Structure 1
């Protein structure tokens, strides 16, 4: 066969596909859809100062986590509960504590106050919105963040006096944040 005499115009040979196998196109589409879905998942991210390791956990919209610490004045445990509404959007839904006193909520204007007689605790239901939370770790307070059955004990993770910011972001935002550090 003489290749110099063969007409190679598209009209005579047909269009040439960039993708020789249609399954490859389907695979690329599936990977793109999964990457988009996974990248848009919500994370609660613990951002400590001084470039210490960042911790995070995945949550669904409406998911909850809690902050546990020992109150500095009353020296009793306090649990604050947060619901994730979306990016930069959390709501403190209630706080549970064992004693009344300085720095602990009690006023009816702050929410619905309930005495949990069987547990010997008090509970205040509230609806406080937050874009993010910031606090310093202190061994006296023994702060912990709890999500489902995982506890993040902040003092062993970050040390005494470290400023920690807690915020909600999408996974792709976390990836971009990781690239800039």
Structure 2
């Protein structure tokens, strides 16, 4: 009976270790850390939604988050051309879908920092949830997206 209990405890410890040491996606802002995705296995989709500060039209940026901590920008979708919006052929494959312009891209980022802005309505979509960041933090708040082991959330 005692050997069975020890084996059961060891198995529980190994499962807990696996869960807590798995890479997770966090949002850090104003000294707080929020878990967005508890376990990243391979590629995990991430979408950033905002209103362009100059064009005043919606923009979506499509990324994948990797367990090694890097972010891969796969494309962007927006409604107008203008200052600050990509349009050059060397930036990716460009097409129009109805009222939207879509640019398929291939860029890697080792880190991802955003900032809330006046009227930009920044939202992050990850793990099946859309987070209205602009409602949670004041204008000008730096938002860092970070991949780290889940146990870092506890400490």
Same fold (TM over 0.5): yes
Superimposed CA distance per residue, residues 32-67 of structure 1 (whole angstroms, 9 cap, x where no aligned partner): 211122013332111113x2x321222432110100
Unmatched 5+ residue regions in structure 1? 1-19
Q: How does 1:4-153 map to 2 (within 5 A)?
A: 21-49=2-30, 51=31, 53-58=32-37, 59-117=40-98, 120-153=99-132
Kept in 1: contact 2:53–2:119 (CA 8 A): yes
Shift of 1:138: 1.6
Q: Which runs of 4+ in 1 moved over 6 A?
A: none
Where relative contact order (Cα < 8 A, 6+ residues apart) is larger, the structure is: 2
User: Which structure's residues are more often strand, by fraction?
Assistant: 2
Measure the CA separation in 1 of the matches of 2:100 and 2:44: 24
Query: Does 165-174 or 108-117 show the bigger shift?
Result: 165-174
The answer to whether residue 135 in structure 2 is matched with residue 156 in structure 1 is yes
What is the alpha-carbon distance in structure 2 between the residues aligned to residue 168 and residue 61 of structure 1? 12
Task: Indicate the residue corresponding to 1:6 in structure 2.
Answer: none
Alignment: residue pair count: 153
The CA deviation at 1:148 is 4.7
Return the offset for 1:88. Answer: 2.0
**Larger gyration radius, structure 1 or structure 2:** 1
Q: Is the 8 A contact 1:145 1:154 kept in 2?
A: yes
Q: Please tell me the root mean square deviation across aligned C-alpha atoms, in Å.
A: 1.6
Contact 1:42 1:61 in 2 (8 A): no
Structure 2 residue matching 1:75: 3-state secondary structure = coil
Task: Normalising by structure 2, report the TM-score.
Answer: 0.90
Aligned-partner Cα distance in 1 for 2:127–2:12: 30
What SS is found at the alignment partner of 2:43? coil
